[in-house]
Amino acid sequence: MHDDIADDPKAGGKAQQGYAVTASGANPGGISGVRPDAVTLEIFRQLFAALAEEMGAALRRSSFSPNIKERRDYSCALFTPDGIAVALGDHMPVHLGAMPMSVEAALAELGTLEDGDIACLNDPFRGGTHLPDITLIAPVYSQPDGVLLGYVASRAHHSDVGGMTPGSMPLAREIYQEGLRIPPVRLFVRGKRRQGLWDTILANVRTPVERAGDLQAQIAALYTGQVRLLDLVERRGSGAVLGAMYELVAYADRLLLTGIRRMPAGRFEAEDFMDDDGFGHGPVPIRVAIDVSRDGLVIDFAGTSPQTEGGINAVAAITSSAVRYVVRCVVQGLLGEELPAGGGSMTCVEQRLPPGSLVNARLPASVAAGNVEASQRITDTLLRAFGEALPDLVPALSQGTMNNTTMGGTDHRGESFAYYETVGGGMGAGPGRPGLSGVHCHMSNSLNTPVEALEHAYPFRVTRYSLRRGSGGRGRHRGGDGLRRDIMMLVDGGSTLLCERRTRGPAGARGGEDGAPGVNTLISGGEERILPGKLSFEVKAGDIISVQSPGGGGWGPPGDAADRSAGTGA
């Protein structure tokens, strides 16, 4: 831990001198926090991180759906009394960077939550990401004095929240086609569930039993976080805990500004493209300019495409999440150590997101793929810009897509099912290593669903599951290989694919070659048909959907060593 980094008002250091003082100068809960020394702060840092991780473990163990239990498509976090992230579990980057905006929206619309309240939301235009991601937020009050200690939050991707197709990831033109939209509301009031709201949510989904089970698992995660924070307060005291929270935020801000000051000053620009929006519009440009100075970063997306007809639009929370992720990665690379798990308040990073654009969509834009696909391309574009400033630090591009696959219908028992997964691919090679193969990269930190779990839970048969050998780009260090995953439907149903990098593979860096683009195929009656990257279609029993994910880009000019440094599996 860099105990020698001086307080800097631009980095939040002096602004937090009381460590129970908010950015606005308020004193949450009236407690005077105690500023910890470096050793004590590191202990608290690990305790807070463990709290968020234990929340995630509770959610995973008690969940119903394979999407959460096996793929681990969830995230948990701890926040200060005024909603600043303190600790984020090692979960989904696309969730975690956006969750502070969900907490901010809930507190802005509902006010301070009372003991026993649980707020619920999924509205992308009020701090959410896309409709399947439901966020629950609960306060933690000390006992018996009733002082607000902070908030715990859990977010999980529900494999169906209604909408026009099973899985709630349709090829849609407006958000109303995508499913049930929940503004910030109190799902629980002082410990009592609002049964009417609960029933309304479950009445609008295809799989109410599974949804109820996963929501209960999220509630269990909140309870776990509350208990652990209260245990910590009992051992250490409210003042020490709150003081450590705010000092971690201030310390992360000082580290962030220190890392930024190690970057070369100047303006660095980049451009990348979404393949299309699913309705014939494409390629769709994303442009960014990063101004680096001693005071921080200005990240401007001027010139990015207006929001599109199809659902590749990202709301501000998604773009902010990608910015937070990339800046954190670059700064950690420069400093050689990790920032505190909350990442700080990011006050030294100014984001300029043109309203009504692909990176700051407005109602009634369809946004299902903005969360999962545009987030990856925003990440790629930011990495390319930082690569101009730091060419020997930033790796080649990874697969740049989550290869979203949804399948649903009615099984042999007459019960509705809805399945969703993302498919791993090739990681981009870096200055000192080849890329990994068959892994989830950047904004996705989920797992590939095990074949046994998939076939046990759904009327599917996995007919092929392998690496796409040679799909990683050649270079001094070779990009990781993509995956091939073939799933046979055993009943009639429907499917939607939302995939990117189907027209051009991920770019190599410093002379490395591009990775191979992905391919989607429908195998029906022994005949293969290439499918577009984004498509909703009917599937017959016996049909096979084949998703072949992109390889990662290579790094450095290819040579004899390239053939000996192929990407390896995780």
**What pLDDT does 94 receive?**
67
Q: Is the pLDDT of residue 300 over 80?
A: yes
Q: Is residue 290 part of a domain?
A: no
Task: Average the pLDDT over 506-530 and give the result.
Answer: 96
Q: Is the pLDDT of residue 267 over 60?
A: yes
Task: Average the pLDDT over 243-258 and give the result.
Answer: 95
- Rounded to an integer, what distance in angstroms lies between the CA atom of residue 435 and that of residue 553? 8
Task: Average the pLDDT over 51-63 and give the result.
Answer: 95
- Rounded to an integer, what distance in angstroms lies between the CA atom of residue 208 and that of residue 173? 26
Q: Is residue 339 part of a domain?
A: no
Q: Is the pLDDT of residue 95 over 80?
A: no
Between 32 and 326, the higher pLDDT residue: 326
The residue type of 88 is L
pLDDT single digits (tens) 363-381: 999 999 999 999 999 999 9
Q: Is residue 4 part of a domain?
A: no
Q: Is the pLDDT of residue 22 over 70?
A: no
- Rounded to an integer, what distance in angstroms lies between the CA atom of residue 184 and that of residue 193? 15
Q: pTM (2 decimals)?
A: 0.92
Domain boundary at 212, 229, 255, which?
A: 255
- Rounded to an integer, what distance in angstroms lies between the CA atom of residue 149 and that of residue 145? 11
Q: Is residue 562 part of a domain?
A: yes
Q: Is the pLDDT of residue 14 over 80?
A: no
Q: Is residue 403 part of a domain?
A: yes
- Rounded to an integer, what distance in angstroms lies between the CA atom of residue 334 and that of residue 116? 43
Cβ atoms within 10 Å of 322's Cβ, excluding its own: 27
| Number of helical (H) and strand (E) elements in the chain, helices listed first | 11, 22
- Per the structure, how many domains does the chain have? 2
Q: Which of 508, 501, 509 is nearest to 550 (CA)?
A: 501
Between 94 and 423, the higher pLDDT residue: 423
| Residue in this structure with the two tokens 């169906």, named with its chain if needed | 160
**What pLDDT does 559 receive?**
82
Indicate if the alpha-carbon torsion angle 264, 85, 400, 170 is positive or negative. Answer: negative
- Rounded to an integer, what distance in angstroms lies between the CA atom of residue 194 and that of residue 473? 53
**What pLDDT does 443 receive?**
87
- Its domain, for residue 491, covers 397-570
Task: Average the pLDDT over 302-314 and give the result.
Answer: 98
Domain boundary at 255, 287, 304, which?
A: 255
**What pLDDT does 143 receive?**
85
Task: Average the pLDDT over 509-538 and give the result.
Answer: 96
pLDDT single digits (tens) 442-469: 988 788 889 999 999 999 999 999 999 9
Domain boundary at 237, 255, 273, which?
A: 255
Q: Is residue 295 part of a domain?
A: no
Q: Is residue 9 part of a domain?
A: no
DSSP-H helix ranges across 336-485: 368-369, 375-389, 451-457
Is the CB of residue 387 less than 8 Å from the CB of residue 394?
Answer: yes
Q: Which of 78, 45, 100, 120 is nearest to 227 (CA)?
A: 78
**What pLDDT does 25 receive?**
33
Take residue 73 and report the two structure tokens written for it. 């498509």
pLDDT band at 19 (very low <50, low <70, confident <90, very high): very low
Q: Is residue 238 part of a domain?
A: yes
Task: Average the pLDDT over 43-48 and give the result.
Answer: 95
| Bond before 431 cis per omega within 30 degrees | no
